[in-house]
Every structure is written in structure tokens, then in C-alpha cells.
Structure 1
Amino acid sequence: MNTTEKTGKQAGGRSRDDAWAVMERFYAAEAAYVTAGGFGKADYGEVAAYLDPEVVLHQAPGLPFTGTGTWRGHDGMERFLAAFSEVWESMEFLEQEHWGDGDTVVVRNRVRFRARATGREVDTLILQLITVRDGRMLECRPFYWDPTAVAQAC
């Protein structure tokens, strides 16, 4: 995977990379969870370790795995990942760029998904606006470059 950093040090010496380090570990746990088969087959605890208890995920409606669009807390994230894992057989992060400022990070992911039902692959870009609190993801807003291609792959 190709990773590009657009970060540095803030005033006071705190590294802007702190939020990115959390997300990097989260992405690895998320990909492993999906590839292992998701709910009932994978260990959600590996993912939950990087999520704040009050985490909120704001997904755009209209995709096969987004449900109501807003997922709250560990229970909500586990339900989202169960739905996500039912749709996708695998996800591979091909490229990542990130920009950070304190507890906020913007990530551009190039991701390849393979659908469980169809076997189709889609290579797409996802931009995410993420807030981290105390070393855990607190809020995430993903923006899909081509949601139609993502939906059609399913």
C-alpha cells in the first residue's frame, strides 16, 4: 500500500500524526474483520479497540450497506460492520493520503472491494473526515467518489 503523509508537528510539540496512527490501526482491523467474514466469524473487539464508546458514523444513504445512514456507539458500529461484511468479501487499501490538524484527519483512500454476492470488484476513492478523541475514532463521514459503481458491484 502506498501511503502519503501531509502532516507534521503542532504548537506544543504534539504530533499531528497521532490521529493518523489511530486510523491506520483501525483500517487494518476493519479490513481483517471484513475478510474474516464479519459478524459471527471475526473478532469485533479488534475493531472496537480503536473506537470511542460514543463513536458516530455518518454514511450516505442509498448504498447497500448504509442502512439509515447514521450508526452510533459500539453497538451501531458492530451492526454497520455486520451489514458491510455481508456485502463485501474483501477490502484492500491500495493507496492512502492523509492530512491532519490535531484530532481531525482527512483521509483519501483508494480501496478495492470484492462483492460477496456477485464476485465483482470495484476500485474506488473514498474521502473521509474523521475526528479522534483520546486515541479512538469519535466521528467519521465518508464520501464515495463513485457511489453508483460501488452499488452496482454489489
Structure 2
Amino acid sequence: MGPDLARQFVAAFNSRDADAAAAMTAPDAVLVPLRASVDATTYRGPNGMREFFAASDVQWEGLHMEVDSEEREGDQVLLIGRLTARSRDVLAPADNALGLLLDFADGMLVGARSFPDPQEAEEAFRRNA
């Protein structure tokens, strides 16, 4: 179940389809984006998912996650890859490593946490496994 939902989430992210991502997000889901390491931003539930997409689209264009590896343990999925985008402020490209830890329950996304260091994501995944 988890990997298919993870792929659907990445497809929604890459196509910037906030409604599709929100539809797979549980009401009590907690979303921790990369910027949380700077300002402790988190989002909650389907509306939070839409807010995340809107906030990301204000700052970035062409957001795309390329998944290099995927692991699953129960309903938790670890995605390791790269996040590319272009800043709207300075039109500078960004190409960064990314670890994404996704938690699913009853066919819904209940947690998503982004890590700028894929090794940290892998360590968190191993702790929870």
C-alpha cells in the first residue's frame, strides 16, 4: 500500500496538484516541510496540504522531486532523491538532496517530514522501523 501511495503523492507534488495531494491526506496529518528547519513551519490535514502547495508556489517555480531510492517498512516509506526548482525572487536554480519520510494509515497520508540531509531521513526511518 505505502509505496503506491508514495508514488501518487510524488506525482501530485511534481504536477503541482494540491487537490490530489489533499485528497490523500488524513484530517490529522502533520506535514513538516524543508523550511521547518528554518522557521518551524508545519501544516496539518488536507487544508494544510493545500497551504503548503500555495506557499511553495509563491516562492518556487518548477518544483520537482526525482526519487532515486525508495524503502518501505510497514506503512512508512522513505524516499531519497533530489529536489529541483527555481526561486521566484532571484530566478536562481536550486538542486538539493532530499529525504522524505511518509507515513500512511488506512490508505491515507498521516505524516510527511522532509529532511535536507538524506542520511538524517534514513536514520529517522531506521529508528521508526
> What is the rounded CA distance, in whole Å, between the counterparts of 2:62 and 2:55 in structure 1?
13
Alignment match of 1:28 (pick from 3, 6, 11): 11
Spell out, residue by residue over 1:87-115, the C-alpha distance to the aligned partner (whole angstroms, 9 max, x if none).
Answer: 11112233431111110111112121111
Kindly name which structure, 1 or 2, has the bigger radius of gyration based on alpha carbons. Answer: 1
Identity across the alignment (%): 28
> What is the rounded CA distance, in whole Å, between the counterparts of 1:44 and 1:80 in structure 2?
9
Gaps of 5+ in 1: 1-17, 34-42, 147-154
Shift of 1:68: 4.2
Shift of 1:86: 0.5
Q: Which amino acid aligns with 2:81?
A: N
Gaps of 5+ in 2: 119-129
> What is the rounded CA distance, in whole Å, between the counterparts of 2:13 and 2:66 in structure 1?
14
- Aligned match of 1:61: 37
Shift of 1:58: 2.0
How many residues matched? Answer: 116
CA contact (8 A) 2:60 2:86 kept: yes
Greater percentage in helix: 2
> What is the rounded CA distance, in whole Å, between the counterparts of 2:6 and 2:66 in structure 1?
15
CA-based RMSD of the aligned residues comes to 1.9
- TM-score normalized by structure 2? 0.79
> What is the rounded CA distance, in whole Å, between the counterparts of 1:58 and 1:97 in structure 2?
20
Shift of 1:61: 3.4
Spell out, residue by residue over 1:48-90, the C-alpha distance to the aligned partner (whole angstroms, 9 max, x if none).
Answer: 122122211123231xxxx542211112221121111101111
Moved over 4 A (4+): none
